[in-house]
A and B are shown apart, each in its own frame.
Chain A
């Protein structure tokens, strides 16, 4: 999807990042004094969500750059940190929760990078292991087309030994990573799905093979890798297709390069259902067997989730017995039935993943103490 409108917050119009992005986009910019001007424009569109994907607003992050991932106490959370560099995404996946998360949704990129650096320095000085990523409120790599985000972040993380940055994407925009000093403190991560889901539900994202080829390239440049089978979608024949994805993954990627693999099935706030039905009338994903989860989100009926997790775990373990697998937002019972253990057996999910980060990304194990 192409950016057709650029807004710049008056306060940041002379920031070097703003000037650079405008020149790379080659678009006239409208300078605004208040975000409401941008929101009004988006909300006046017939499809504000689509408009939000075509509109880029350069502004200042007035809140924190480092945020705790919004988990819920009903399900096991991994204690992830979000590096809040911007919002929304133009890839247009049908199931994207961001469509109903931001009001209104708009591509926002924060250019006050001086504040970002200060926050990260403060975090690193805590000398505690942290895992953080930019791929929660957006896709980590879509910004590479117009910004120098990776070349800003990767070197910052390379110079410390307690935190690891995960760049999670469905794109192949990785060329910028090639020559960056990363010191294994950046994990290149991909969300994986079956070719059918990618074709029908994941808008303008890269194909499965293209994603895996990009991962292989990153591994050859020394980056640790991660993969997220999330959201897995249950449909007739999905088991065979997910098995093929697992097989293709390990046919191309060396398990030793993988820090972790997460599994999660489709879940969404009830309000998203109408949005998907209206914006993607051909999509059938909302017609699965969903129930209301303990956190109020719609989730597949538990036995269906467990069944798919069990299969995935057995296929992954068959080909990569030592790779760390974890479940995203599930409870102990689902863990036990799917993986045969609960996170508590390994000191809790955060610790389990911290240890993986220490091992694969050469973080300082002293950072595990007290966590």
Chain B
């Protein structure tokens, strides 16, 4: 590497993001720091026929441009420095300097695996640079780099986990984007995200539709636009709507059972539970009492339940 020299900022090809690792678009902190104490570390660039290619220092360049600098101190790589060395420098400059987020790790792994085919060498290199070195995890993280930017933003905002991002990546791009937006807007936990995605995916398959189209339907949009309910209520309403659409018969019978048991006025001390999903024929009745007189009182209520037409009709179904 050559010594540091000042180069014109206009000669830097800022639009080439080949070696960009950072996901942080903000430069306020850096601007303040440079304004106060100057630029401590020179950027690293490489001479190409079309100008200087940035290897490391994307944010520093943006900050200096913001400050109106015309020139910037830079280390210019020799022309014989190959792509592999550039990648190593770009990754090391980031991975060894600060904690990286998942997208940045993914960018590092993508860059490294573009030059290293052998898995063993790749994991060894990643390990030396402080990156995850488990091959399975590396494969998963690498895929994130190919995801739609909106999904990547979801990961950065912590509204989407790595596991969910992988699932979203398997969907059609518009479906993944639409779901990401819902997950971020409603702040849904992973399990609920999974259920929502499964319901939508299965309805879409069955009805020859797409997740994006389903989420755009009036019934869902109305819930999302309703300013009188909070996020949790919106999530519950959307989920319930989708459950009923995915399992109409099951939902109908479950609702019917709820309606009939309500009519029985069981009170707090008696609970009647149907077989799980109405498979099998054993119903469970639970009585709660603390004295004989209470039990006697419950007996009367039990008689009423037994004689109820609503229940017998239900049991005969």
A interface, CB within 8 angstroms of B: 74, 284, 286-287, 289, 291-294, 299, 301-304, 331-333, 337
Q: Which of B247, B279, B281 has the most CB of A within 10 A?
A: B279
Q: Check B317–A291 contact: CB distance below 8 A.
A: no
Q: Does B277 sit at the interface, judged by CB under 8 A?
A: yes
- Given A292-B279, A293-B279, list of 13 further CB < 8 A pairs? A284-B206, A287-B203, A287-B206, A287-B246, A291-B250, A291-B276, A291-B278, A301-B250, A302-B278, A303-B253, A303-B278, A331-B281, A333-B281
Q: Check B278–A301 contact: CB distance below 8 A.
A: yes
Chain B, interface size category, equals 10 to 19
Q: Check A301–B277 contact: CB distance below 8 A.
A: yes
Using an 8 Å CB-CB cutoff, how does the interface string of B244-262 with A read, 1 for contact, 0 for none? 0011111001000000000
Q: A292-B277, A333-B281 are in contact. Are A301 and B202 (CB under 8 A)?
A: no
Partner of A287, one of B202, B249, B279: B202
Q: Does B309 sit at the interface, judged by CB under 8 A?
A: no
B interface, CB within 8 angstroms of A: 202-203, 205-206, 246-250, 253, 276-281, 317
Q: Which residues from chain A contact B205 at a C-beta distance below 8 Å?
A: 284, 287
Q: Which residues from chain B contact A303 at a C-beta distance below 8 Å?
A: 249, 253, 278, 317
Q: Check B279–A289 contact: CB distance below 8 A.
A: no
Partner of B248, one of A284, A287, A289, A331: A289
Give Cα distance in the complex from A357 to B190, angstroms: 55
Q: Which B residue's beta carbon lies closest to that of A234? A: B249
Interface of B is mostly: helix
Q: Check B281–A289 contact: CB distance below 8 A.
A: no
22 A-B pairs (CB sep. < 8 Å): A74-B280, A284-B206, A286-B202, A287-B202, A287-B203, A287-B206, A289-B248, A289-B250, A291-B277, A291-B279, A292-B277, A293-B279, A294-B280, A301-B247, A301-B249, A301-B277, A302-B277, A302-B278, A303-B278, A303-B317, A304-B249, A337-B317
Q: Which B residue's beta carbon lies closest to that of A291? A: B277
Q: Which residues from chain A contact B281 at a C-beta distance below 8 Å?
A: 331-333
- Tell me the minimal C-beta distance from B265 to chain A in angstroms: 26
- Tell me the minimal C-beta distance from A289 to chain B in angstroms: 5
Q: Check A294–B202 contact: CB distance below 8 A.
A: no
Give Cα distance in the complex from A287 to B206, angstroms: 6
- Tell me the minimal C-beta distance from A333 to chain B in angstroms: 4
- Tell me the minimal C-beta distance from A263 to chain B in angstroms: 18
Q: Check B279–A294 contact: CB distance below 8 A.
A: yes
Give Cα distance in the complex from A331 to B278, angstroms: 13
Give Cα distance in the complex from A301 to B281, angstroms: 13
- Tell me the minimal C-beta distance from A342 to chain B in angstroms: 12
Q: Which B residue's beta carbon lies closest to that of A333? A: B281
- Tell me the minimal C-beta distance from B43 to chain A in angstroms: 46
Q: Which residues from chain A contact B317 at a C-beta distance below 8 Å?
A: 303, 337
Q: Check B249–A289 contact: CB distance below 8 A.
A: yes
Give Cα distance in the complex from A311 to B52, angstroms: 77
Q: Check B280–A331 contact: CB distance below 8 A.
A: yes
Q: Which of B203, B276, B280 has the most CB of A within 10 A?
A: B280
